[in-house]
Amino acid sequence: MGRDVRVLAPSLLLFLAFVGSAGAQPRTWRVQRGEALSVIAARFSVTVEQLREWNTLEGDRIVPGQELVVGEPDPALSHTVARGETLSHIAAARNTTVERLLELNEGLDADHLREGQVLRVEALEDRHHIEYTVRRGDNLARIAERHRVEVSDIRRWNPRLRGNQLRAGSMIHIYSEIPESVSESVGRPHHGRLIHAEQLPEHHAGYYLRDPSRAYGTLETILWIQEGVEAVLDRFPDSPQVRIHDISNREGGRMRDHRSHQTGRDVDFSFYQRRCPSGICPSRRIRPEDLDVERQWALFEAWLRSDRVEYILLDYALQQPLYEEARRQGVSRADLARWFQYPRARHDRQGIIRHYPRHRDHVHVRFVCPDTDESCR
């Protein structure tokens, strides 16, 4: 018993205090695909070091679905039943449903509420309330994915929604752990700018960032980069890091050494290679046999299947091994024809994966315009 608890870090002592308090449970977050510790730390206004201590993490490696302690317990919300109130009245006032109140209050009899009875209600005030305006082509699944919620949540928060039909211009309520994207890609990649940019976190198990001052993009671009490299790590946990060369300047516009990269949607990556010294795949001219096709295709497929990319530009000679790998993994003929320029000629204008001169040492990815960025072209 000679240990002195003063040797424990203050943040760890705080954690021990709130998990040990009566009835209190630490605030937790389930890791989403594409997230890094730095992103989660920023979201909950804590430090990466605190997250490591609270969750006994030795490094920065986290995986989708993992539950992390991210702070102090959520405040317990309650509602005291007033004279004449029904469960449907309370549900409407709390922007929830009768079914959800029954879930939160085990054994509750909806037909026998009594004045003064205390009910547990959902804690939404610690989330971002977003009044989302439906755009043409939107669907509930896509909106839910963008805001890291479930379709069932959106239906619960918006009881008037019927089926999957959404009317462009209508407004729905969303309560999300992540803020509404305020970043905006404006104009064309070769002639545009970037408003309220997000910076790619410098430390991540899946990539090495060459220059943080040239690593700004839309929030969506930043999340999609992480989503892609996390997909590779999910399948191949021992993967080396890819090198991220440039995205955009903080305010977009012309960037030295590039014609595009002006609107926060263009990113240069090194290729996954069979040999990557020091665990980082360098930006160097490679031959088809140097390409690590399994990992490279895992990265591309993650973006292609979720419609994240507008173009993937690389040397034509590198398309064939990727095409063969995709076919080996059972990609349909229709998707092969839609995604690849190969085996058509290198100057054919079809396919998302296309030839571009002087792109044997890196791949240029252009992500799609975010749905909320009306001036993006």
Helices vs strands, H then E, count in the chain? 11, 18
Provide the pLDDT for residue 17: 45
Residue with tokens 């203050």: 10
In sequence order, what DSSP letters do the residues of 230-272 get, joined into one string? Answer: HHHHHH-TTPPEEEE-----TT-S--TT-SS--SS-EEEEPPP
> What CATH code would you report for 128-176?
3.10.350.10
Local confidence pLDDT in tens for the 377 residues of the chain? 343 333 444 444 444 444 443 334 567 787 877 778 888 887 777 888 889 989 999 888 898 888 888 876 544 567 788 888 888 888 877 767 788 788 878 888 888 888 888 888 876 656 777 888 787 667 888 788 777 788 888 887 887 787 777 887 888 888 887 767 778 999 999 999 999 898 888 888 899 999 999 999 998 899 899 889 989 999 999 999 999 999 999 999 999 999 999 999 999 999 999 999 899 999 999 999 999 999 999 999 999 998 999 999 999 999 999 999 999 999 999 999 999 999 999 999 999 999 999 999 999 999 999 887 889 99
Tell which residue, 213, 282, 225, has the closest CA to residue 250: 213
From CA 211, how far away is CA 247, in angstroms rounded? Answer: 10
Architecture of domain 5-71: Roll (3.10)
Tell which residue, 180, 167, 164, 172, has the closest CA to residue 136: 167
Judge: domain 184-367, CATH 3.30.1380.10. Answer: yes
pLDDT tens track for 150-193: 888 888 788 778 777 788 788 888 888 776 777 899 999 999 99
Provide the pLDDT for residue 126: 60
pTM: 0.61
Provide the pLDDT for residue 23: 36
Provide the pLDDT for residue 6: 39
Same fold, 5-71 and 78-120: yes
Helix (H), strand (E) at residue 129: strand 128-133
Report domain extents, the chain: 5-71, 78-120, 128-176, 184-367
303-317 residues labelled b (16+ CB within 10 A) or e (exposed): bbeeebbebbbbbbe
Tokens representing 340?
A: 């690849």
137-175 residues labelled b (16+ CB within 10 A) or e (exposed): ebebeebbebbbbebebbbbbbeebeeeebeeeeebebb
Judge: domain 78-120, CATH 3.50.50.60. Answer: no
At residue 226, the 3 state secondary structure works out as: helix
